[in-house]
Amino acid sequence: MTFRQKIRPSDRTAVRHIAESTGYFSGAEIEIAVELVDERLSRGADSGYHFLFMESEGDVIGFSCFGPVPATLSSFDLYWIVVRHDFQGQGAGRKMLAMSESSIQGAGGRRIYAETSARDQYESTRRFYEARGYRQAGFLPDFYAPGDGKIIYVKVID
């Protein structure tokens, strides 16, 4: 597996395909991910969105998107971290997260915030973050929909 940060127009299709492959995200959520690619393509670093792409044998199999939280000194949001369904459970997500954290740290980040749903479907996502040193910093009940709260995780990196 290799990583790259330079975004390409073809990443629009790759991001859509990867997000769809998981079965986790709604059509609206997938469109948001593609919009972030478009924003980065059109505005570059000024967009505030940074991408990391994981490739295997020339195919994009995962991506993360992160960026500094406006008006903070060293806080970053981890907006997306997604691995194609057929590569999940093989350590690709762990590698993607580690590389994303390294990139954030290199950009001066010291606190990383990640948000996820409280639905049962996202239990594995929550375990993933917790196993990598993220701790729950907040819970907003009924945020996404009645019965679907938002859990906010944070990790402090040195």
Reported as a single tens digit per residue, the pLDDT across 96-128 is 999 999 999 999 999 999 999 999 999 999 999
The tens digit of pLDDT for each residue in 30-88 reads 999 999 999 999 999 999 999 999 999 989 999 999 999 999 999 999 999 999 999 99
**Backbone dihedral angles phi then psi of residue 58, each to the nearest 5 degrees:** 85, -10
Strand pairing of 135-145 and 111-117? unpaired
Residue with tokens 């806080």: 75
Give the residue among 83, 45, 95, 41 at the shortest CA–CA distance from 67. Answer: 45
Q: Which of the following CATH numbers is that of domain 2-156: 3.30.1490.100, 3.40.50.150, 3.40.630.30, 3.90.25.10?
A: 3.40.630.30
158, pLDDT greater than 90: no
The structure's pTM equals 0.93
Domains in the chain: boundaries: 2-156
